Amino acid sequence: MAKSNFRPLHDRVVVRRVESESKTSGGIIIPDTAKEKPQEGDIIAVGSGARDEAGKLVPLDVKAGDRILFGKWSGTEVKLNGEDLLIMKESDIMGIIG
């Protein structure tokens, strides 16, 4: 994993999408124009956590290196160091694959 100069704030995470397969299990090749964006990715950076009502810092349940599933429209697409990444809140993450 490449080290980034970007550190998300609060309960946000930076995610690199996992590339989807270009061929179905039956051998049919899917053209790029018909592919859906994958809803799976690897976390490459996490924020320090959110604060609760009492002002206490609550750390995130995910960490850099975790493989996650997220919603189809989750996150904001950004380009950092020439790489397309997503920045999203921890609440947009459905779960950890592991």
> pLDDT per residue over 38-89, tens digit each?
689 999 999 999 999 999 999 999 999 999 999 888 999 999 888 999 999 9
pLDDT of 30 above 50 = yes
Domains and CATH numbers, the chain: 12-18+35-96 (2.30.33.40)
Q: In one letter, which amino acid is 18? A: V
Give the burial string for 59-95 (b: 16+ CB within 10 Å, else e). Answer: ebebeeebebebeeebbeeeebeeeebbbbbbebbee
The residue that leads in pLDDT, 27 or 93, is: 93
Query: Would you state the pLDDT for residue 1?
Result: 45
